[in-house]
A = this chain, B = another copy of it.
């Protein structure tokens, strides 16, 4: 992959729309889109330009049936260093005229819950995690180095996290006197419980490697030099699976959070009716009736 590359697999009528990206590198391998955040001078900080490129490429990923799994990583030695502290200064200046906040503010927040926020200009950096969360295809974060602040949020928004021995995550927001603005107050408790969530968010302490697996922050840990190989083995295996079933499984996991068990079962039954009509289900049934073993030759439809 060059620093700026045309993406493979984009030929024919779509070629005219293909864009050369500056802040991400992309490659498609065996149905896996590898998206590498790439801005070495900032250790891959997520700014508006990188966010815009990610939004665009993720839309394309979702619409391209040849791309079945997302792998998100960063140019070594960093995953993503978070947002850029220089941008903070400007925002502060914009707010100087405004009044001081009260020290204890839960009551005020209750009021803000019902309020609509004004639309912001440009891509909202802190909404990239939502875009990844909402992808209708599997996603894997390969945490190859520090993932700080919204960089941690990007990792958390993927379905699965694998870390290298040097991979580590931190809710660094607190060191900037900020709250986690990337949705990790929603995500972390679902992975590691409220106690460890608040410990990490109050302190900004790093958590990585096997420790991250131990508390449920990541699913697998690899030695650094085997990280991408191990992650790609998993990604390719998922990419050769039944894509429609994967998509609806993710949907059901998301939706079931707000349902009772009975409602979740009813929704799963409806989804199963849908999946039973896919080519992949028919392939699998014939495969096992023919006494084959292992993964059926799925086609992703």
State the A residues within 8 Å of B (CB): 62, 65, 85-86, 88-89, 91-92, 95, 98-101, 103-106, 108-109, 112-113, 115, 117, 124, 126-127, 129-130, 133, 136, 138, 159-161, 173-183, 185-199, 201-203, 215-216, 218-220, 234, 237-238, 241-253, 255-262, 264-272, 274-278, 280-285, 288-289, 295-296, 298, 300-301
Contacts and interface: CB of A to CB of B under 8 A. Distances in A.
Contact of A270 (B115, B194, B249, B260): B115
Contacts of A91: 276
A231 to B, nearest CB: 12
B186 A265 contact: yes
Binding site secondary structure of chain A: helix
A202 B241 contact: yes
A89 to B, nearest CB: 6
Given A130-B261, A159-B195, A295 B248 contact: no
B180 A196 contact: no
Given A100-B277, A265-B183, A278-B177, A249 B285 contact: no
Copies in the complex: 3
A193 B65 CA distance: 28
B256 A258 contact: no
A178 to B, nearest CB: 6
30 contacts: A92-B282, A92-B285, A101-B274, A103-B244, A104-B136, A105-B244, A105-B274, A112-B271, A117-B266, A126-B268, A159-B195, A159-B199, A160-B198, A161-B195, A175-B295, A176-B285, A177-B275, A179-B252, A181-B272, A186-B256, A186-B264, A189-B253, A189-B256, A195-B216, A195-B218, A199-B220, A202-B241, A203-B238, A215-B216, A216-B216
A240 B1 CA distance: 45
Given A95-B277, A105-B274, 18 more contacts: A91-B276, A92-B276, A101-B244, A101-B275, A103-B247, A109-B255, A113-B255, A160-B195, A160-B199, A174-B246, A177-B244, A177-B283, A178-B245, A185-B256, A187-B261, A192-B193, A193-B216, A201-B253
A260 B185 CA distance: 11
Contacts of A288: 85, 176
A290 to B, nearest CB: 11
Nearest to A220: B199
A202 B130 contact: no
A296 B199 CA distance: 18
A270 B234 CA distance: 38
Contacts of A242: 174, 177-178
